[in-house]
Chains A and B, each alone.
Chain A
Amino acid sequence: MSTDNSSTEKSVWRRAFEWHEARLPLVSFIDNAVGTKYPAPRNLNYFWNFGFLAGFVLVLMIMTGVVLAMNYIPHKDMAFDSVERIMRDVNYGWLIRYMHANGASFFFIVVYIHIFRGLYYGSYKAPREVLWWIGIIIYLVMMATAFMGYVLPWGQMSFWGATVITNLFSAIPLIGEPIVTFLWGGFSVDNPTLNRFFALHYLLPFVIFALVFLHVWALHIPGSNNPLGIEVGPADKIPFHPYYTIKDVFGIGVFLLVYFAVVFWGPNMLGDPLNYVVANPLVTPPHIVPEWYYLPFYAILRAIPDKLLGVIAMFGSILVLFVVPWLDTSRVRSANFRPVYRVFFWLFIINGMVLGWCGSQLPEGLPLIVGRICTLYYFLFFFVLMPVIGWMETPKPLPASIGSPALKAAE
């Protein structure tokens, strides 16, 4: 019946839809972005799920965050109690807050896998440098957002974390102290600091949302990279919908299983118990640690026994990602075809995890020494190994197309 209709006369719904699309092509826009009109390489593996997942977690964070903000009070005398009220009195407040707090951790897990996928498969290389840059900016804004969000419950770790992180800026020569006073809006972390952190914590996720649009836009100019890292012709592409939408939805299912396992059975596993003690500006806890996702950078900061150089190294460890497209001199994108680089890449991943462990320990003895060695390897990887291996390494032969190895095997 429907086929008869289309050949002779369009239904009223179809005509209304086309009338609207001619004026605002909203559905076509989505179809071009993540629908049937976006051809994607047919060999994308599950590591390619994490971009979509990151977008999903962003929406989850905004939704839970908005309802939390309806019950949260950004005042130094009321913030802590208002969070406890959310936990005890607000309907499902415990669930929403645990989803938000653990959502931050899972956001970082997803984004770290997303970044390392890009690093492994050479997704930062020409012509995707700007796409890579926008990704790094999103990551930086994410770090700022997460940090300010962690301050809001106004526990001991919130307060002293805020004090330590804002004091990083005091390392800047001459203007350091005035900048810190400006950041605080006072002479210590206090009510004005809490107020502005809340305002910015609410604002920045929407900035991220806008950046994600730029990220996806920049992705669509060259199209997706793929595990082989080769240029892909139309014959090797399949429409994003339904092939990758269904794969992404399946990935979200798996993600939700793991995420809610933590939300329900270990909601405080990734947090610090000290943040359930109300902020006290007169007593610093014996051991200040940031949330796990900052630990490697914290270790780099503490590895260097000079205030200014430590801060420069810490920020530098992230900013170096901006020049990775030029530090990597190899003509081959995917590390699957780079036997030497591949070894050092995985060493770099392990190195990052060891750095994270160092960051969680007191900065003395073994953790400090290990932290220094790992910091050295971190920068060695980017500034020496990446360019040198790119020159010296003989990559394995690349297939001409995604289908060619299979075709060859069939012959």
Chain B
Amino acid sequence: MANTATAHSVASGTADGETRRDFLLHSTVAFGTVGTALAVWPLISSMNPAADTLALSTTEFSLANLQEGQAIIVVWQGKPVFVRYRTPAEIESARNAPMSDLVDPIKDEERVKKDKEKYLILVGVCTHLGCIPLGTKPMDPRGDFGGWLCPCHGSHYDTAGRIRKGPAPKNLAVPPYQYLDDTTVRIG
């Protein structure tokens, strides 16, 4: 006891007032904190998508049977993907929309592949709170702009899937996809 007391008072005499004991305490706490964080990381990381989930991240489908004016829903990563064969009138209306009217301005040309402008491929999840907008089936309401209408909170999307009215902040997302041949598409 007497020894430590002496050592302590001697060490306290340093210019900055830091003792050897303070150094040991601070370095122990620092090591402990970093170590605990590293130890907890595997537990948190295990909640991220597993390898088998990631392996299912692409979907292929065929456009061969899709007729003009029709739309289908493809499942990709557990989410619906809207695939619509647009009529010339629908493409026209999408291209003629003034940029100043758009909430999230982008040209229709940038939302489709070149020479495949008639096929619109979108992630069918409303950017407001994640519901699936109506407008794929023939009898569905399509909103004020002929695209999709989200039934949850009334977001209207146009024939390019862009948000035009309602609470959603962004356009329907365009998933990464490519044409494997003229009528086969791979998403993801």
Contacts and interface: CB of A to CB of B under 8 A. Distances in A.
Is chain A's interface secondary structure helix, strand, loop, or mixed overall?
helix
Nearest to A95: B42
Nearest to B51: A89
A88 interface: yes
Interface string A34-72: 000000000000000000000000000001100100110
A7 interface: no
Interface string B39-52: 00011011110111
Interface residues on B, range: 10 to 19
Contacts of A92: 42-43, 45-46
A325 interface: no
A71 B46 contact: yes
A93 B50 contact: yes
B8 to A, nearest CB: 14
A88 B46 contact: no
Contacts of A85: 50, 52
Contact of B47 (A67, A88, A89, A95): A67
Interface in B1-51: 42-43, 45-48, 50-51
A88 B51 contact: yes
B15 to A, nearest CB: 16
B43 A63 contact: yes
B46 A89 contact: no
Interface string B45-64: 11110111100000000000
B109 to A, nearest CB: 40
A403 to B, nearest CB: 13
Contacts of A71: 46, 50
A110 interface: no
Contacts of B42: 91-92, 95-96
A89 B43 contact: no
Contacts of A64: 43
State the main secondary structure of chain B at its contact with A: helix
A90 interface: yes
Interface string A71-85: 100000000000001
A85 B53 CA distance: 11
B66 to A, nearest CB: 35
Contacts of B47: 67, 70
A63 B45 CA distance: 13
Residue of A71, A85, A90, A93 most packed against chain B (CB within 10 A): A90
Interface centre among B46, B48, B50, B51 (most CB of A within 10 A): B46
Contacts of A70: 46-47
A96 B46 contact: yes
A91 B42 CA distance: 7
A5 to B, nearest CB: 16
A89 B46 CA distance: 10
B50 A89 contact: yes
A63 B43 CA distance: 8
B99 to A, nearest CB: 43
A92 B50 CA distance: 9
A88 B42 CA distance: 14
A96 B47 CA distance: 12
A90 B43 contact: no
B103 to A, nearest CB: 37
A93 B52 contact: no
Interface in A335-380: none
A95 B53 CA distance: 19
Interchain residue pairs A-B with the least CB separation, the first 7: A92-B42, A89-B51, A89-B50, A89-B52, A90-B50, A91-B45, A91-B46
22 contacts: A64-B43, A67-B46, A67-B47, A70-B46, A70-B47, A71-B50, A85-B50, A85-B52, A88-B51, A89-B51, A89-B52, A90-B46, A91-B42, A91-B46, A91-B51, A92-B42, A92-B46, A93-B46, A93-B50, A96-B42, A96-B43, A96-B46
Given A91-B42, A91-B50, 16 more contacts: A67-B43, A67-B46, A70-B46, A70-B47, A71-B50, A85-B52, A89-B50, A89-B53, A91-B45, A91-B46, A91-B51, A92-B43, A92-B45, A93-B46, A96-B42, A96-B43
